[in-house]
């Protein structure tokens, strides 16, 4: 009696929870994407790359204005007139101890405003920005791929939870059948129509199915916690997840999102090569400064002035490094193309394999569904025969166990079909 009340309480509690509004699959996927540190890291890297592109554009094209100040104090010990004294500029160019006046002049005094303007550097700025923006696109594509991976992993875990719930629901209906039969045999045994051993057998089967329900309930709790862990959700409450029914996305994919990473890798190699080639273009800079620049402090007020100039640099020969680096880039691009081609072949086979397994599983499910219908009819007949004393309880229990195993197999088939659909949809993207 206590066991019966416990079962009814658990089932009632489960039914009440099931009626409550719960989070669905999209909620868990969104939370997993939102809480993913890998996505956040790639997003930060993408934003940082865009900021770096702006910096490089300014570095190559904008003037650089600096303020410099220098003060050098270099006194000497003069021996003029037979008297030693510490001075900055001795009258006798020979009779002194200290740095050579031709090198130090006793000191240097500078306070300059400098302007350096790169010329003909627009292409450098654009090329550097293009390279950084390719890096940003690589990070953005990594975000897409990571989010897609998360969607698959979360959906797989969600399907396992639904599988546990379906097993519990099947066992709940089976427990109800066994309970009804137990009550009936109990009445028959009380009237001397059924044997006490029959009542014991059906009671044991009742307890067996209830233990199985408890096992799947514990498994569901574990899988539900794993789902929360996977999604980064700080929640340990017991919730009933809504069922899902995934469908195949068999529309033709013009360009797989997986192959985008190979295209971006090639673009990155091209951008790197283009940036390397820029060192062979002429570099021209204009510079100017104004301010104080003197070496003799008494004349410092008269040493304010200005200067301007131009610098030019151009590579003439470096051992054919440009040709060698271009050859290296082409080799790496060919390698990237090889990876892309083998991925396309493998992905085609993966999708075909998933579709074949789904089709074969559906055939098995159709047969199993027909078997379950026949089992239900047989159980109705057997219940009536047991009631009339025409069938052994042992036979009834054996058939009941076969039904339970078949139901569990059917639930596994349903879950495997959903997992295969999720796998196909993952690769067909």
Of residues 112 and 83, more confidence is placed in: 112
pLDDT of residue 90: 66
| Residue 383 confidence class, pLDDT cut points 50, 70, 90 | confident
Distances (CA, A) of 165 to 13, 22, 174, 216, 243: 14, 14, 14, 8, 9
Give the pLDDT band of residue 91 (cuts 50, 70, 90). Answer: low
pLDDT at 407: 93
Give strand pairing partners of 116. 64, 287
Q: Judge whether residue 70 has pLDDT over 50.
A: yes
20 — pLDDT class (breaks 50, 70, 90):
very low
DSSP code of 191? T
Distance between start and end Cα atoms, the chain: 55
Q: How confident is the model at residue 22 (pLDDT cuts 50, 70, 90)?
A: low
Q: How many CB atoms lie within 10 A of CB 365?
A: 16
More confident residue, 172 or 103: 172
299: helix, strand or coil: helix
Which has the higher per-residue pLDDT, 374 or 71? 374
The pLDDT confidence band at residue 13, using thresholds 50, 70 and 90, is: very low
Return the residue matching tokens 């193309």.
Answer: 337
Q: What six digits make up the tokens of 308?
A: 């301007």
Q: Kindly state the average pLDDT of the residues 379-389.
A: 81
pTM of the model: 0.80
Say which residue the tokens 């500078």 belong to: 110
The pLDDT of residue 251: 81
Residue 271 corresponds to which tokens in the numbers above? 């951008």
Q: To which H or E segment does residue 65 belong?
A: strand 64-73
Residues of the chain with pLDDT > 70, as a percent, come to: 90
pLDDT, position 21: 41
- Dihedral, 388, 394, 397, 402 alpha carbons, nearest 10: -120
Residue with tokens 């199985």: 212
The whole-number pLDDT of residue 6 equals 46
The whole-number pLDDT of residue 128 equals 86
Is the pLDDT at 16 greater than 70, yes or no? no
Would you state the pLDDT for residue 8? 47
pLDDT of residue 194 exceeding 60:
yes
> Per the structure block, which two tokens stand in for 108?
């240097």
- Comparison of pLDDT for 251 and 147, the residue scoring more: 147
3-state secondary structure of 42: helix
Are 48 and 40 spatial neighbours (Cβ–Cβ below 8 Å)? no
Question: What average pLDDT does the segment 22-33 reach?
Answer: 91
Judged against a pLDDT cut of 80, whether residue 303 lies above it is answered with yes
Angle at 415 between CA 378 and CA 234, to 5 degrees: 130
As a whole number, mean pLDDT of residues 114-142 equals 88
Q: In what order do the strands lie in the sheet with 76-78?
A: 85-87, 76-78, 96-97
pLDDT at 59: 85
Both tokens of 213, joined, read 């329900």
Its CATH class, for the domain covering 2-427, is mainly alpha
Answer for the pair 131, 275: CB distance below 8 angstroms, yes or no.
yes
Longest dimension (CA), the chain: 147
Q: What is the pLDDT of residue 83?
A: 72
Q: Counting Cβ atoms within 10 Å, is residue 246 exposed (0-12), middle (13-18) or buried (19+)?
A: middle
| Mean pLDDT value across residues 13-32 | 70
Give the residue-averaged pLDDT of 333-355: 95
- At 3, the pLDDT band (50, 70, 90 cuts) reads very low
Which of the two residues, 394 and 92, has the higher pLDDT score? Answer: 394
Residue 14, pLDDT above cutoff 60: no
Q: What is the 3-state secondary structure (H, E, C) of 66-128?
A: EEEEEEEECCEEECHHHCCEEECCCCCCCCEECCCHHHHCCEEEEEEEEEEEEECCHHHHHHH
Higher pLDDT, 357 or 187: 357
Given a contact cutoff of 8 angstroms between Cβ atoms, the answer to whether 75 and 87 are in contact is yes
Burial readout 140-154 (b: 16 or more C-beta within 10 A, e: otherwise): bbbbbbbbbebbbbb
**375: pLDDT strictly greater than 50:** yes
Residue 301 per-residue DSSP state? G
Residue 420 burial by CB count (10 A; 0-12/13-18/19+): exposed, middle or buried? buried
Give the torsion sign (CA, 401, 407, 411, 416): positive
Strands (E), 280-342: 283-294, 304-313
Mean pLDDT of the chain: 86
- Tens-digit pLDDT profile for residues 259-290: 999 999 999 999 999 989 988 888 888 989 99
């Amino acid at each position: 009696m206590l066991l019966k009340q416990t079962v009814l309480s658990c089932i009632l509690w489960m039914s009440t929870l099931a009626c409550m509004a719960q989070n669905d699959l999209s909620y868990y996927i969104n939370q997993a994407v939102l809480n993913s540190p890998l996505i956040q890291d790639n997003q930060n890297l993408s934003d940082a790359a865009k900021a770096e592109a702006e910096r490089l554009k300014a570095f190559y094209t904008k003037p650089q204005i600096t303020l410099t100040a220098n003060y050098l104090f270099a006194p000497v010990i003069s021996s003029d007139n037979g008297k030693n004294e510490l001075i900055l500029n001795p009258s006798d160019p020979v009779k002194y101890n200290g740095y050579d006046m031709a090198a130090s002049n006793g000191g240097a005094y500078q306070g300059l405003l400098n302007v350096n303007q790169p010329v003909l550097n627009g292409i450098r700025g654009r090329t550097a920005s293009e390279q950084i923006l390719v890096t940003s696109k690589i990070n953005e594509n990594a975000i897409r791929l990571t989010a897609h991976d998360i969607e698959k992993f979360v959906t797989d875990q969600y399907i396992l939870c639904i599988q546990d719930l379906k097993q519990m629901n099947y066992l709940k209906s089976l427990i109800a059948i066994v309970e009804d039969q137990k009550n009936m045999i109990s009445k028959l045994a009380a009237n001397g129509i059924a044997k006490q051993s029959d009542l014991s057998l059906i009671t044991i089967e009742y307890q067996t199915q209830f233990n199985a329900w408890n096992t799947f309930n514990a498994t569901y709790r574990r899988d539900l916690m794993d789902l929360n862990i996977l999604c980064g959700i700080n929640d340990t409450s017991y919730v009933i997840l809504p069922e899902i029914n995934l469908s195949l996305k068999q529309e033709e994919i013009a360009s797989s999102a997986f192959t985008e990473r190979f295209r971006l890798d090639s673009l990155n190699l091209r951008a790197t090569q283009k940036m390397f080639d820029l060192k062979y273009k002429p570099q021209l800079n204009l510079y100017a400064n104004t301010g104080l620049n003197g070496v003799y402090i008494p004349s410092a007020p008269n040493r304010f002035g200005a200067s301007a100039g131009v610098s030019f640099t151009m590579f003439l020969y470096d051992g054919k490094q440009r040709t060698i680096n271009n050859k290296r880039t082409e080799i790496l691009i060919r390698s990237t193309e090889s990876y892309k081609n083998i991925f396309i072949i493998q992905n085609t086979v993966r999708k075909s394999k998933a579709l074949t397994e789904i089709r074969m599983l559906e055939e098995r499910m159709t047969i199993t569904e027909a078997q379950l219908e026949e089992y239900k009819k047989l159980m109705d007949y057997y219940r009536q025969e047991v009631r009339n004393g025409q069938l052994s309880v042992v036979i009834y229990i054996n058939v009941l166990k076969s039904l339970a195993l078949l139901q569990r197999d059917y639930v596994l088939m349903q879950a495997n079909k959903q997992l295969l659909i999720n796998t196909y949809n993952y690769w067909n993207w």
